[in-house]
Structure 1
Amino acid sequence: MTQTGNVTPVPQGPPPTTRGDRQPTGELTRSLTHHQTTMIGLGCALGTGLFLGSGSAIGTAGPAVILSYIAGAVLVAIIARVLGAMTIVHPVRGTFGTIAHLYLGPWAGFLVRWLFWAGTTVAIGGEVVAAAIYIRYWWPQAPMLLLIAAVAALVLGVNIVSVRSFGLAEFWLSSVKVTAVVVFIAAGLLLVFVGLPHTPAAGLGNLTSHGGFFPHGPQAVWAAMSVVMFAFVGFETTSISAAETTDPTRSIRTAMRALVWRLGLFYILSIGIIVTLVPWRDTAGGDGTITGSPFVRVFSQIGIPAAASLTNAIVLIAAISSANAQLYSASRFLHSLGHDRCAPAVLARVDTRGVPVRALVVSAAGIVAAALLAAFRVDSVFNVLVSVAIFSVLLVWLLILASYLAFRRSDTPATRQGLRVWGGAWTAWAGIAGVLAVAATAAVVPVMAKAAWVGTGFALALLLVYALRVRHVVNRHTRAAPSEEAVDA
């Protein structure tokens, strides 16, 4: 790999120590397959929100929420494409955090990775609580604390055993979710356009009745983006896995392409079927429970027995899959931060199987803390954490797009070998405008307004820590250690 222009080299630490012929203590292993790489991204992005219905977004925009999901899919496609283009050239640990370090400066690498870690940890805490609630659907007397500990231990165990075991588990968990979505879409299209022997086709009447296609006006499509965009969060995990993929160039090139169209198709068709089959006011008024899920309604209509229990099993798998994949992401970013001395160096160590156990355990501890706050309704604290998570996603996306603009300006043979982005810099600028438009919903959406205030404060606090303490450590480490770029040159 050639040195890319005048970018700052990424500190990779001293040469890793070895013990005989076993795995170096600081290096990850490349054991994820091509198909596992694609499923890891789907595992994060196909979450419980889809299966239980997107009541909040539907309540905001009505049937026109379909347009919100189309806009969201286009924006995610832009971010995924530029991220894939950079990751193919730099399939390194810390992925877009390390890339931000390379092209925007060490402060950006520090900020991106800590923001992503914090936001992901809060998100997994919510998934763990959701999984515990779904288990209580069958065993209502089960202690919540015990169930949270069991789910957290399960995802931690899968991740600790080996990278291969994580990839295999995520492949099968995601396959179940994908199968459920495909069955739902097929059954929904049948009910909308064909009908059943004793049930006439539903038709498209629900799209324009009950106040019309835009019951709250066209501007509601924009306001709904404050909810819609976060349904796609998690696709970035495909890029994160590049450092542990057997063939990162092939895997990232095809996985990003497949991931984007699958996510877009799944979400747009699923939401379209929901607002077509069920009057939007009924879905918007749902309480988010299993019995109110559109999946239960559709499965019941086509005669699948025990539709509620089946849907509960699916959303339980979705929650565990999402938590599993996001714990992987969080631990890899913490491992990268340790390598670059932006976190304690002990977090950079891996065991003989190439697993960053210390980073996993620390990430899991944060997850359990967030889960307990959510489960026991410590709203004053948990809501602040949620605000940090929301803001973190938007700022990370902005910095990914900004990194791509700097990446293109470096204009070396290596950067030209990456995944082609149609429109180049103009497409990246369009992505930046789209992310800023989502952030601007803070003017009308209270949750986004709180996220903007709390998240900005958190980001400024991180930058202050970097300026006062971390910057000097990183600079010394950069001078003392050769970068991966320099070593490969």
Structure 2
Amino acid sequence: MTTAPRRPTAPAAPGTNVGPGAGNELRRGLGRRQMALLGLGSALGTGLFLGAGAAISVAGPAVLLSYAAGALIALVVAYALGEMVSALPVRGSFGTIAGRALGPFAGFSIRWIYWTALIVGIGSEVVAAAIYLRFWWPEVPLWAAVLVFAAAVTGVNATGVRNFGTTESVLSAIKAFAVVAFIVIGVVLIVFGLPDRPATGIGNWTEHGGFVPEGPMAIWLVMAIVLFSFAGIELVAVSAPEAKDPGPALRGALRTLVLRLTLFYLGAIAVMLAVLPWTEVSGGHGTEGSPFVTMFAAAGIPAAASVTNFVVLVTALSAANANLYAAGRMLHSLGDDRFAPRALGATTAHGVPRRAILCSALGFLATAGLTALFGARVFGVLLALGTFGIVAVWITVLLTLLAFRRDPDRPPSTLRLPGGRLTPVLGIAALLSVYATGFYVPEMRTACLVGVPALLVLAAAYALLVRPRRKTRGHRPGR
């Protein structure tokens, strides 16, 4: 005889063992500052230090408006995450909450998509770090450097959340200091100049074709690139189950993170476009062509290329470190909810999901190996899947918020997205519009083509492998 489904109950109090045994509990050891730096470590990456030229080449100086719009969308998603996760700081974060609000398949698919996006991202960052290392020691084999960095990142994650938080805080602080130094040097060049270099002013914003040289439509077309500069804010929500005081810590960390990212991206790019004509910045790719090198060299900083190479090396390792943290927690929640092998839901005596971390490490090593062996031919498709994953996750977060608010038994939130239903609906429309522009932007076109087939594969996997087993064993909601 079947029984009627029960409404999932609210999670147990922090630190309480709610499962059978104590072998699947995470340990609370992160503070608000560490949570904010964790998100900063993932979101503030090589897209600014090396890849800003791609966005500038599409829209020119008007890319500043694109980054402002991207920051606004990221703020909406951040507040949506904060509203839900501050009420339910559960393992699996938005993925688990989506499963409760939208149904089990939503919880299954969005966590696997997000995990895949993270694995692809980590693989690319580790390979990038290995390439940066060869700037100084070109004789080092790429595969050897990849293995060394992979082992280091995995070791930091496997030792415990407190050690991980400390390491990521240091790496993120180095990146933040580099951006602040870049902005300060730029302001000096703009306002005062140097003895052998007159002040540039902001004339470069409107010269070389005007502020909008490629037309107004380019401002939105470039959003397909810009939006992913803010990807990583969701890591703050993923870390909430391991926060010492989840509600207040999450609220403060999300606000601090979005503010810092907005100031860093807009400030750095505004300075960059004022000091250098946008036609020069748009051609900058690689360490030697990075606008950071040009800026440091103009200020007379010795070995500008080496300084920038060190910064982007730290950037890559920081992003890999932060993303492996999130990947391990996502896989741990999937195992705990029986959406993956049950063994992956276990933790050590110190609350570390070591099996999930090691399994994720094998995944990003595989993607790194594909990159090292075949380059863009194979990795381009994987990277497109990761790109699609971020859009899918953000849309799902906003859809989940709409359903979450309709639940009269939901726990109280310490943060709320203003604007009622209109704000998340507008956010969903904006994200769908960004996804649609991918057919016109080469960097996003592959993502549009692989995203829907990937969802169909997940639907088939759920129907054939997961759903029958869950019916047999009975549904056990995630915690």
Per the TM superposition, whether the score is higher than 0.5 is: yes
The whole-number CA distance in structure 2 between the counterparts of 1:478 and 1:269 is 53
In the TM superposition, residue 155 of structure 1 has moved relative to its aligned partner by: 0.2
The one of 16, 22, 26 equivalent to 2:20 is 16
For residue 302 of structure 2, give the secondary structure of its aligned residue in structure 1. coil
User: For residue 174 of structure 1, what is the aligned residue in structure 2?
Assistant: 172
The one of 278, 281, 284 equivalent to 2:282 is 284
In the TM superposition, residue 53 of structure 1 has moved relative to its aligned partner by: 4.2
The one of 64, 82, 87 equivalent to 2:85 is 87
CA contact (8 A) 1:43 1:318 kept: yes
Letter in 1 for 2:438: A
CA contact (8 A) 1:206 1:277 kept: yes
User: For residue 458 of structure 1, what is the aligned residue in structure 2?
Assistant: 454
In the TM superposition, residue 483 of structure 1 has moved relative to its aligned partner by: 6.1
User: For residue 358 of structure 2, what is the aligned residue in structure 1?
Assistant: 361
In the TM superposition, residue 6 of structure 1 has moved relative to its aligned partner by: 8.1
Letter in 2 for 1:51: F
The one of 258, 264, 267 equivalent to 1:266 is 264
The whole-number CA distance in structure 2 between the counterparts of 1:306 and 1:446 is 34
The whole-number CA distance in structure 2 between the counterparts of 1:36 and 1:341 is 30
The whole-number CA distance in structure 1 between the counterparts of 2:9 and 2:470 is 11
In the TM superposition, residue 94 of structure 1 has moved relative to its aligned partner by: 0.2
Residues 159-198 of structure 1 mapped to structure 2, 5 A cutoff: 159-198=157-196
Residues 135-146 of structure 1 mapped to structure 2, 5 A cutoff: 135-146=133-144
The whole-number CA distance in structure 2 between the counterparts of 1:67 and 1:375 is 36
Matched, 1:423 2:419: yes
Letter in 2 for 1:426: L
Q: Which moved more, 1:317-326 or 1:451-460?
A: 451-460
In the TM superposition, residue 478 of structure 1 has moved relative to its aligned partner by: 4.7
CA contact (8 A) 1:7 1:103 kept: no
CA separation of 1:477 and 1:41: change in aligned 2, threshold 3 A: farther
User: Which structure 2 residue ranges, 5 or more long, are not aligned?
Assistant: none
User: For residue 428 of structure 2, what is the aligned residue in structure 1?
Assistant: 432
Residues 173-216 of structure 1 show CA distances to partners (whole Å, capped at 9, x for unaligned) of 10111111111111111211222233211111211111211111
The whole-number CA distance in structure 1 between the counterparts of 2:198 and 2:426 is 44
In the TM superposition, residue 462 of structure 1 has moved relative to its aligned partner by: 0.2
For residue 353 of structure 1, give the secondary structure of its aligned residue in structure 2. coil
CA contact (8 A) 2:248 2:414 kept: no
The whole-number CA distance in structure 2 between the counterparts of 1:116 and 1:192 is 41
User: For residue 20 of structure 1, what is the aligned residue in structure 2?
Assistant: none
CA separation of 1:82 and 1:474: change in aligned 2, threshold 3 A: same
The one of 438, 443, 467 equivalent to 1:471 is 467
CA separation of 1:316 and 1:279: change in aligned 2, threshold 3 A: same
Matched, 1:407 2:411: no
The whole-number CA distance in structure 2 between the counterparts of 1:267 and 1:257 is 16
User: For residue 110 of structure 1, what is the aligned residue in structure 2?
Assistant: 108
The whole-number CA distance in structure 2 between the counterparts of 1:188 and 1:74 is 25
Letter in 2 for 1:410: D
CA contact (8 A) 1:340 1:474 kept: no
Letter in 1 for 2:58: T
Residues 221-249 of structure 1 show CA distances to partners (whole Å, capped at 9, x for unaligned) of 11111111111111110110001111111
Q: Which moved more, 1:116-125 or 1:198-207?
A: 198-207
Residues 235-288 of structure 1 show CA distances to partners (whole Å, capped at 9, x for unaligned) of 1101100011111111101001111111111101111111111111111122x2
In the TM superposition, residue 128 of structure 1 has moved relative to its aligned partner by: 0.4
CA separation of 1:7 and 1:217: change in aligned 2, threshold 3 A: farther
The whole-number CA distance in structure 2 between the counterparts of 1:124 and 1:411 is 39
Letter in 2 for 1:162: G
CA separation of 1:11 and 1:382: change in aligned 2, threshold 3 A: farther
CA contact (8 A) 2:11 2:88 kept: no
CA contact (8 A) 2:91 2:241 kept: yes
TM-score, normalised via structure 1 length: 0.93
For residue 422 of structure 1, give the secondary structure of its aligned residue in structure 2. coil
User: For residue 397 of structure 1, what is the aligned residue in structure 2?
Assistant: 394
The whole-number CA distance in structure 1 between the counterparts of 2:180 and 2:103 is 43
User: Which structure 1 residue ranges, 5 or more long, are not aligned?
Assistant: 18-23, 485-489
CA contact (8 A) 2:10 2:411 kept: no
User: For residue 487 of structure 1, what is the aligned residue in structure 2?
Assistant: none
In the TM superposition, residue 378 of structure 1 has moved relative to its aligned partner by: 4.1
The whole-number CA distance in structure 2 between the counterparts of 1:483 and 1:347 is 14
CA contact (8 A) 1:121 1:327 kept: yes
Residues 197-212 of structure 1 mapped to structure 2, 5 A cutoff: 197-212=195-210
Q: Which moved more, 1:65-74 or 1:204-213?
A: 204-213
Letter in 2 for 1:116: Y
Residues 82-136 of structure 1 show CA distances to partners (whole Å, capped at 9, x for unaligned) of 1011110011100000010111111100011000000110011110011001100
Residues 208-219 of structure 1 mapped to structure 2, 5 A cutoff: 208-219=206-217
Q: Which moved more, 1:199-208 or 1:94-103?
A: 199-208
Q: Which moved more, 1:346-355 or 1:326-335?
A: 346-355
CA contact (8 A) 2:404 2:410 kept: no
Aligned length: 471
In the TM superposition, residue 472 of structure 1 has moved relative to its aligned partner by: 2.8
The whole-number CA distance in structure 2 between the counterparts of 1:413 and 1:110 is 21
User: For residue 379 of structure 2, what is the aligned residue in structure 1?
Assistant: 382
Identity of aligned residues (%): 47
TM-score, normalised via structure 2 length: 0.95
CA separation of 1:307 and 1:478: change in aligned 2, threshold 3 A: farther
The whole-number CA distance in structure 2 between the counterparts of 1:443 and 1:195 is 43
For residue 91 of structure 1, give the secondary structure of its aligned residue in structure 2. coil
CA separation of 1:37 and 1:311: change in aligned 2, threshold 3 A: same
User: For residue 310 of structure 2, what is the aligned residue in structure 1?
Assistant: 313
The one of 131, 136, 140 equivalent to 1:133 is 131
CA contact (8 A) 1:8 1:103 kept: no
Residues 52-91 of structure 1 mapped to structure 2, 5 A cutoff: 52-91=50-89
